[in-house]
Amino acid sequence: MNILDVVTPCSKATANHRKSFATDGEIINTLLKHNMSGLYRPVEVCKLLDTMEILDRSLNDSNFRKLMKIRNHRVHDFVANAIDLCEPMKVFVCSDKEEDISYIRKTAVARGEETELANPNHTVHFDGFYDQARDKERTVYLVPKSESLGDQLFQMDRQEGLDMVKRRLKGSMHNKKLVVRFFCLGPVDSPFSVPCVQITDSFYVAHSEDLLYRQGYEYFKKLPNDAEIFWMLHSSGKLVHATSIDWDKRGVAIDYKENTVYSVNTQYAGNTIGLKKLALRLAIRKADREDWLAEHMFLMAVHGPDERKTYFTGAFPSGCGKTSTSMVPGATIVGDDIAYLKTIDDEIRGVNVESGIFGIIRSVSQESDPIIWNVLHSDRPAIFSNVLVHDGVPYWLDDGRETPKRGVNHSGIWYEGKVDANGEEILPSHKNARYTIKLEGLPNLDDGLDKPNGVPIGGIIYGGRDPDTWVPVQQSFSWAHGVITMGASLESETTAATLGKSGVRKFQPFSNMDFVSIPLGDYIQNHLHFGEFVPKAPRIFAVNYFLKDDGGNYLNAKEDKRVWLQWMDLRIHKEADAIRTPTGYIPLYSDLKRLFETHLGKVYSEEDYETQFAVRVPELIAKIVRIREIYQDSVENVPDILYRLLDEQQERLEQARAKFGDIISPVQFL
Ligand code: OXD
Ligand code: MN
């Protein structure tokens, strides 16, 4: 007999006889009757009783019934424990029915977490003034005494961390409603699926997740009892004007031992939407145990000659062009932020974990990102966050329009020249302002989004914000060379997607450093191992959209990435030759000239080619020295091959310098 066989009759009894059972002890009798044979230890029975008692007391009939349709006592326990801790006034269980979904959106508006805009399908949400980005320093792993995740990750003693976060969550939902939602990361009922439960007191969070994730209520009904589940508990804490005011006591605590993430006193989606970066941290651990990869990657199809489709994943740090790459004209998008990769039938296949986009809106203009622009000006549902609103219309930085002189933004009423407490000018829209939309119905949506076995990956791209070192595009010599000199060596300037100063060059291996949840050396080892023996392993490339000249001007236009993608497609299909340089294969001028003309109608000059693809030896060697030092000084269990490949690359660069000088034109390597 399964413990559920006890729960279910009890649950039915509870739902049918709600008024009487709590007083006449019917549930106790039912349990005892089912436990006649003594199958359950008294402690299990007591726990069950506690859970049922809390749920019965806190949920009304309809929500109780919705919850009990999920016959999983761990789900019931999680909800009951959250109620016990956060003490909400009411509980709402979302069954994913139309009426429940629309209740969530309406309540987000009624509570002032969102405001309707002139377009009836659009709303705007504002996060608190100091809660505008991911808070890396207050995001910690809860680590048992006997374990360590290495120097690179923020961690604290598990028990102390749990005590702290639970103290902050205690009573945090007074006068609020606790929302319970069920989702599935990856296509439902597929080898990639990860079921997730989200509890939150923010209807904005619950509404955003509706646009961003695959619904999971029906899936949970069929889930085996012992299925691995990710659990998320969020409370925005005390609110004034619908924003969290105790932001100085905010925190995200990842209890990987229990697959649970707690988030408190914050609303910004990157800290609160459990299924996004909070679940990614749990997924990286799961992937490590099960030999697959959970990555901060877009997933898209490049359409090459003869309507051929080649799928690429791309790992770029936040705010470095992932969304705009996956939305380039001519390509089709599967996802823009998080991908799971698995080996299935000797092929590496990938899925988008999400089904929507939480994209940076800054610089989205009709000219630079026409597809996104059109979606944001259509009747498709969207939530705008931390933009400027004037007359019910959202505006953002560099949107190609004239910015109104006043309006409402994350600082309240905004007017030109408004300054913050430090006398700093408040920009009309935050640099990290966002839009949240569903992928479904996008004109450029790829038909692979919900394929249970995902799509085959032809290429993996790494890219960061790098003003002076890497060329715009290059291909690695091998899987290991790509993993080490591109993925594990990635650096990028910080952006407004995280709190703190922007524009500082930081070590960002695999663009996943913010989310890596296992010791970095093990994570690299996994990558090496993952592709090494797969017959058709993807090719690995590195791109750099952010190369600048001495005057600080970008050397490439935003749309040039279309050409780099087309070249990568040709390389995968062995349809373009390349020049071997000390750091990788780069394009021939003649191929780029043709691709610029065909795809952008632009003349690409030889002079531009030589400047952009020059091999900058001093910068490249300085980078190797920096990276080697980081691994030597602060990472344990680094695979030996990392040092070997870095040394070999440095040697090739030094030999080239001896022959050609510091800055070497690509044609020298022909
Ligand atoms: C995101 C991020 O929002 O990485 O995707 O910050
Ligand atoms: Mn991201």
**What's the DSSP call for residue 517?**
-
pLDDT at 268: 98
What does the pLDDT read at residue 24?
37
Which of the pair, 25 or 425, is modelled with greater confidence? 425
135 lines ligand 1 (CB under 6 A): no
Taken in order 372, 128, 199, 263, the sign of the CA dihedral is positive
What three-state secondary structure class fits 69? coil
> Sign of dihedral through CA atoms 285, 286, 290, 291?
negative
Distance 492 CA to ligand 1 centre (A): 14
Is pLDDT at 46 greater than 90 in this prediction? no
| Residue pLDDT, tens place only, 343-353 | 999 999 999 99
| φ, ψ at 165 (rounded to 5°) | -70, -35
Give me the pLDDT at residue 20, please. Answer: 38
Minimal CA–CA distance to 301: which of 543, 569, 531? 569
pLDDT-derived band at 630 (thresholds 50, 70, 90) equals: very high
Residue 226's CB is within 10 A of a number of other CB atoms, namely 9
**Which atom of ligand 1 is found nearest the CA of 269?**
3
> In whole angstroms, what is the distance from residue 340 CA to residue 360 CA?
22
For residue 421, CA distances in Å to 105, 127, 249, 397, 630 come to 34, 17, 20, 22, 37
Amino acid (one-letter) located at 474: Q
32 band by pLDDT with thresholds 50, 70 and 90: low
Residues 526, 288 contacting (CB under 8 angstroms): yes
**pLDDT value at 19 more than 70:** no
Least confident segment among 8-12, 79-83, 643-647:
8-12
- The residue type found at 363 is S
Residue to mutate (ligand 1; options 266, 272, 358; most atoms within 8 A of CB): 358
Long-range CB pairs of 658-663, under 8 A, 24+ apart, other chains included: 661/617, 662/616, 662/617, 662/618, 663/614, 663/615, 663/616, 663/617
pLDDT for the residue numbered 18:
45
Residue 41 has pLDDT above 80, yes or no: no
Of the bound ligands, which one is closest to the alpha carbon of residue 139?
1
Tokens at 280, concatenated? 């990614």
CA-nearest residue for atom 4, ligand 1, is 318
For residues 580 and 670, what is the distance between their CA atoms, to the nearest angstrom? Answer: 8
What's the predicted TM-score (pTM) here? 0.93
Residue 515 Cβ inside 6 Å of ligand 1? The answer reads no
In the three-class reduction of DSSP (H, G, I as helix; E, B as strand; rest coil), residue 215 is classed as strand
User: What is the per-residue pLDDT for 393?
Assistant: 98
Q: How far is the CA of 3 from the centre of ligand 2 (A)?
A: 40
Per-residue b or e along 174-183, where b marks 16 or more CB atoms closer than 10 Å to that residue's CB:
eebbbbbbbb
Catalytically active residues are 320
The structure tokens listed for 171 are 């009573």
Return the DSSP state at 134.
B
What does the alpha-carbon distance between residue 614 and residue 635 come to, in Å, rounded to a whole number? 32
* Distance between CA atoms of residues 469 and 623, nearest Å: 8
Handedness of CA 399, 400, 406, 407 (dihedral sign): negative
Atom of ligand 1 nearest to the CA of 497: 6
Whether the per-residue pLDDT at 34 is higher than 60: the answer is no
Chain position carrying tokens 């919705």 = 66
Largest CA distance in the chain: 91
Q: pLDDT tens digits for 653-666? A: 999 999 999 999 99
> Is residue 323 lining ligand 1, measured as CB closer than 6 Å?
no
State the closest ligand 1 atom to the C-alpha of 322, by its place in the atom list counted from 1: 5
Residue 552 is predicted with a pLDDT of 95
Which residues on neighbouring strands pair with residue 663, listed in sequence order? 616
End-to-end CA distance of the chain: 73
Cα three-residue angle 29-31-36, rounded to 5 degrees: 95
- The response to whether residue 134 sits with its C-beta less than 6 Å from ligand 1 reads yes
Radius of gyration, CA atoms only, the chain: 26
Is the model more confident about 23 or about 450?
Answer: 450
**CB distance 358 to ligand 1 below 6 Å:** yes
Q: Is the CB of 337 under 6 A from ligand 1?
A: yes
624 — phi, psi (to 5°)? -60, -40
Ligand 1 and 497: CB distance under 6 A: yes
Q: Where are the alpha helices (DSSP H) in 318-367?
A: 322-326
pLDDT tens for residues 511-545? 999 999 999 999 999 999 999 889 889 999 999 99
Give me 450's structure tokens: 């919900």
Alpha-carbon distance 353 to 561, whole Å?
24
Ligand 2 centroid – CA 284 distance (Å) = 14
- Average pLDDT rounded to a whole number, residues 197-218: 98
Q: Which residues is 141 bridged to in the sheet?
A: 155, 254
CA 3 to ligand 1 center in whole angstroms: 40
Mean pLDDT of 230-246: 96
Query: Rounded to the nearest 5°, which phi and psi values hold at 103?
Result: -60, -40
Domain 98-116+129-290 bears CATH identifier 3.30.420.40:
no
Pocket test for ligand 1, best of 276, 322, 383 (most atoms within 8 A of CB): 276
Please choose, from the candidates 241, 248, 16, 204, the residue with its C-alpha nearest in 3D space to the C-alpha of residue 106: 204
Give the number of the ligand closest to the Cα of residue 497: 1
pLDDT band for position 2 (cuts 50, 70, 90): very low
Q: Which residues pair with 193 in a beta bridge?
A: none
Q: Is the pLDDT of residue 313 over 50?
A: yes
Q: Indicate which ligand has the atom closest to the C-alpha of 434.
A: 1
Strand partners, 453: none
What does the mean pLDDT of the chain come to? Answer: 93
Q: What is the pLDDT of residue 647?
A: 98
pLDDT-derived band of residue 47, with 50, 70 and 90 as boundaries?
confident
CATH class, domain 357-438, is: mainly beta
In contact, 394 and 124? CB cutoff 8 Å: yes
The three state secondary structure string of 141-198 is EEECCCCCCCCCCCEEEHHHHHHHHHHHHCCCCCCCEEEEEEEEECCCCCCCCEEEEE
More confident residue, 594 or 33: 594
317-332 confidence digits (pLDDT tens): 999 999 999 999 999 9
Q: Give the total residue count for the chain.
A: 670
* Nearest residue by C-alpha to atom 2 in ligand 1: 318
Atom of ligand 1 nearest to the CA of 498: 6
C-alpha neighbours within 13 Å on the C-beta side of residue 237: 26
CA of 254 to the centre of ligand 1 (A): 17
Q: At 600, is the pLDDT very low, low, confident or very high (cuts 50, 70, 90)? A: very high
Q: At which residue do the structure tokens 């309507």 appear?
A: 307
Angstrom distance (rounded) from CA 637 to CA 521:
5
- Residue in the block written with tokens 């023996």: 533
Report percent pLDDT > 90 for the chain.
91
Measured in Å, residue 50 CA sits from the centre of ligand 2 at 39
Residue matched to tokens 């010791």: 519
Residue ranges covered by each domain of the chain: 1-58, 98-116+129-290, 294-350+446-669, 357-438
Q: Which stretch of 145-154, 265-274, 427-436, 618-627 has the lowest confidence by average pLDDT?
A: 145-154
Question: Per-residue pLDDT tens for 151-191?
Answer: 889 999 999 999 999 999 999 999 999 999 999 999 999 99
Neighbours of 481 (CB within 10 A): 18
Establish whether residue 318 lines the binding site of ligand 1, counting it when its CB lies within 6 angstroms of any ligand atom: yes
Atom of ligand 1 nearest to the CA of 514: 4
Q: Which residue's alpha carbon is at the smallest distance from atom 3 of ligand 1?
A: 270
pLDDT above 90 (res 50): no
Name 99's Cβ contacts closer than 8 Å, sequence gap at least 6. Answer: none
Mutate to test the pocket of ligand 1, among 318, 435, 465, 510 (most ligand atoms within 8 A of CB): 318
CATH class, domain 294-350+446-669, is alpha beta
